A and B are shown apart, each in its own frame.
Chain A
Amino acid sequence: MTKRRNSGCNALEHHVTRRHFMGTGAMAGAMAGFGSLLTPAMAGEMKSKQKQILQVYLQGGVSQFESWDCKPGTKYGGPFRPISTSVPGMQICELLPYTAQKMHLLSVVRSINLETDDHTVGRLFMEKGRKNGDYPFVGAVASKYLTAADNPLPGYVHITTRGIVDQTAGFLGSKHEMMRLEGVKPPTNLERPKDLKPELAVRAESLRQQLNKQFGGKRSRALIDSYDTSFEQAQQLMARADLFEKQDEKELDRYGKHWFGRRCLLARTLLEQGVTCVKVTHHGYDTHAENFNFHVEQLDEFDKTFATLLGDIEERGMLDNVLVVIYSEFGRTPKVNHKYGRDHWGKSFSIALGGCGIQPGGVVGATNADGTEVSDREVDGAHLFHTYMQAVGIDSQSNHSLDGRAVPIGDPVAAPIKELLA
């Protein structure tokens, strides 16, 4: 029985199976060459740079057939053709022409099976890496472990519209709870009362600090400090209200003047300003009817905007430190229903990811010829969670340490997808 504790769940670690990396040879060579030019000091500096995450969430469940896993000419393949990408040998759907030119920055995982067709279960699994339980979301964990102590901005910001309110921080506490932005509007209550003179506000803040110092002086500090921090964060956010001001028209021309364009531009700004995890939601992929028409519209909006954002991140030299993930809570059924829709399908679908040391230009796993099930390298939300964490330098196989209990960061029954990690 002694083996119970220590061997733990790691004994179940999945064995790494075959992998398909196409066209990475040249890239790997180029990177090795670049790497050798770095002085140790430079390398150290790059290493210490704060890692960040950009999550682009295609809400409702983008169709894998119409995006990352085309099945042209098959029973369920649908009307669209695959196109070549910037990675020789890799093809994605023709609805993503701009993204196709950026695929040398991304990899695709085509073998996800969540064993659920439920929006909430799927969404939580993809975010928490656990199918149930009050575990924190990717963004909250990132906020906790990657945000520098002196970073005044919230660690986890979600730009969205609709009102799904998940508890995202769990036991990590509200400091790491997702801050929700209604589109590009500023956070709730960011604006000071109109009749409050700025000098008076400054003096009030200083009075608050003195009162707390007095009160906290002889009392246990932990709680009072965390209360103080929340006011400091609030002050910093009010001071940076400019982040939410009118967006640059020229930049908007590049991103697209639709709401997704505006949000992605704000996402870039927030990443540049040092927010640890920025999540942008693109709504409307739950295509139970008219799947094909909707995907034409939706992905048309997504494609150019996302490619622009990814390009900007790369050009600014941020991609080494920003993990980019494009994901949904599940994919869509192979079978097309009588309304030309595709329904919920968590059994075999895809995501794309890149940056922050993720091997680019790769395809992990595969589905069978008709796309009805995973045929190689099956993974689920837990494997993906481990992979994101490892990419940003968080040891997902270690524990959160919460007063008295150790809680594994990633689900111990799963392991990272090693072939994606550089």
Chain B
Amino acid sequence: MQITCRIILLIVAILSSAVASAQTQSLRHIIDDSLRSTQGELSVNSAPLVDDYGFVRRVYLDLTGRIPSTAQLIEFVNDQHADKRELLVDKLLASPEYARTMQYAFDVMFMERLPKKHISPEAFQKYLKDAFATNKPYDALVKEMLSADGANPEQRPASRFLLDREIKREETVRAIGRVFLGRDLQCAQCHDHPNVDDYLQQHYFGVAAFLQRSYLFTDPKSKVVSIGDKVEGDVKFTSVFTGEESQTQPRILDLSEIKDPDAEEEPYEVKPDSKNRGVPKYTRRLQLAPAMISSENSAFRQNIVNRIWAMYMGQGFVEPLDMFHEENAPTHPELLTSIADDFMAHKYDVKYLVKELVLTKTYQLESEVVQVGDAGRVLYLNASIKPLSPEQFAWSLMQAVGVVDQTRRTALEAAKQENADFDESSLSGQTLLEEKIHTALKPKVNLIVKVFAASNAASRFDASANHALYLLNGPEVAEWLSMGKELLLDSLLKTDNDKEMIEQSYLACYSRLPSAEELKLASEFISQHGASREEVLRELVRTLLCSAEFRFNK
């Protein structure tokens, strides 16, 4: 059955790539065709597909959050299946590491590394990981996050988005605008945005109106803080330009205002007072989530597609990601719209979208820049290099030097001791193992993230002298490059063959073999006098780890 399906898929794939505009194309082909048609004649200059080594590194980084181990790399390269790339993608999407790496990415997207206020960041992270492990539809996830009031213990983690911003208007409205609508409405709070025509005060205050009647409630006994609501409070604002006073009901951008229902005699389920959290019969705050995820609100799906696209393609259709507006139109507006509509039609199935993106040809191109005469930069003729996130960087460092594999061995032993029937090939076994490895290495990850996190949570890449000093002289890297700990250096020094040593170093750090020229360069480096073999080899590896090829997903 499976094989038949695969054959059919293969035939479909062949057919659809042969026939330029098949009717029921899969999304991956729609994307490739659309980009090719906008490139026009220049599309013949497209970079070749990246080789197996390059693909496996890229897709491990993107889907599991770290580079592959040498064993995983070789396994894939030696795999003889014609559709092995799709098979690998399926395998990685089903792995617990996928859920973990999505947890990291979406935690930063939603919370921007804000410190803890009322909700434990770990609880929120677990909530996210579970959501991605079960492939919860994205709209359902957002609905939970924008609706949870923190009063119900089960939904408490989801309330972090609102509660840890303390529903303060400035922070919360700005975050909602940026994170869910792709629009930084910050300046609109005082006046219509000075630089952007379509950012209007009414957009800012329309979102603010959903939350205007909400407040932080501290339970007098338990001291637990949650969100309470009242039935009065309207949003008024004065334009600093015209001095006119305006009012708005809750609304998303230019969609219609959401009017309150007719007032009831007793508007409260629970009246707000010092002992009780106010719960109205009609709560404005609870209108936010449905309005946000509604099919009428195309900004919602276009924003998330733009963000997910940027995660895998290295740039959004709209850049910066939070600057959707008329004068900063998407590079490919029709394609963005069709991906967003398709994502909605697939019920916001994140795994589906991710799978389609990473199986496009566009994703699989080499990253060396293609020069096309004086045509300037033509988008998507080659892949972009993507800076590793601090988390990807931390895990990749530990993968390269052997810490992850060593921790895995220890965790596996422990799991087997705890349970004689432990099955590391089952999903539950993998999940348990991943959890153990993660728990063991999390302190190191946190440490590295602290050094490498960007000064601005919204920016994807930052480099400062502190980062370089950490890699060159920091205690962790030094420890991981020492001998006698069953790490990379020990295994490299098992041979005295230079070539083999260098190849193993390249596979561990760059997930590829060195070229002849690189082999020569590295051989010269390690065969110098005045330092021991161990010393030169350590510096070779340290230098690979300090190089740009290690810092980027190429």
Contacts and interface: CB of A to CB of B under 8 A. Distances in A.
A and B from one assembly? yes
Interface of A: 3-5, 7-9, 11-12, 132-134, 154, 167-177, 179, 187-193, 195-197, 199-201, 203-204, 207-208, 210-212, 214-216, 218-220, 223-224, 226-231, 233-235, 237-238, 402-408, 412-413
A249 B368 CA distance: 56
B531 A200 contact: yes
B197 A5 contact: yes
A217 to B, nearest CB: 8
Contacts of B241: 3-4, 7, 11
Contact of B530 (A11, A199, A223): A199
Q: Which 5 A-B pairs have the closest CB atoms?
A: A174-B462, A234-B468, A174-B464, A233-B465, A230-B463
A200 B547 contact: no
Contacts of B323: 404-405
A134 B456 contact: yes
Interface of B: 170, 186, 190-192, 194-197, 240-241, 319-320, 323, 328, 367-369, 384-385, 387, 454-456, 458-459, 461-470, 472-474, 478, 518, 521, 525, 528, 530-531, 535-536, 539-540, 542-544, 546-549, 551-552, 554
A160 B539 CA distance: 34
B521 A210 contact: yes
Contact of A189 (B186, B368, B474, B546): B474
Nearest to B531: A200
Contact of B459 (A168, A173, A179): A173
Contacts of A132: 170
B457 to A, nearest CB: 8
Contacts of A173: 454-456, 459, 462
A208 B547 contact: yes
A200 B385 CA distance: 30
Contacts of B525: 203, 207
> Which of B456, B458, B474, B531 gathers most chain A CB within 10 Å?
B456
30 contacts: A4-B197, A12-B240, A167-B455, A173-B454, A174-B466, A177-B466, A179-B464, A179-B465, A187-B469, A188-B466, A188-B469, A189-B473, A189-B474, A203-B528, A207-B521, A211-B547, A212-B547, A220-B385, A224-B385, A227-B551, A230-B464, A230-B467, A231-B468, A231-B546, A234-B469, A237-B465, A237-B469, A402-B320, A404-B319, A412-B194
Given A174-B464, A193-B478, A223 B240 contact: no
A228 B192 CA distance: 40
Nearest to B463: A230
Given A179-B465, A234-B469, A218 B547 contact: no
A288 to B, nearest CB: 25
A195 B535 contact: yes
Contacts of B192: 4
Contacts of A208: 543, 546-547
A218 B461 CA distance: 20
B455 A177 contact: yes
Contacts of A403: 319-320
Contacts of B546: 208, 231
Given A174-B466, A196-B539, 6 more contacts: A170-B456, A197-B535, A212-B547, A223-B461, A224-B552, A230-B465
A335 B525 CA distance: 71
Contact of A9 (B170, B194, B530, B552): B194
A219 B456 contact: no
A8 B240 CA distance: 10
Contact of A219 (B191, B194, B528, B554): B554
Nearest to A166: B455
A174 B454 contact: yes
Contacts of A238: 469, 472-473
B518 A214 contact: yes
Given A174-B455, A219-B385, A211 B463 contact: no
A178 B117 CA distance: 25
A364 B368 CA distance: 59
Contacts of A154: 464-465
Contacts of A407: 195
A190 B369 contact: no
A7 B241 CA distance: 9
A193 B461 CA distance: 27
A233 B544 CA distance: 19
B530 A197 contact: yes
A253 to B, nearest CB: 33
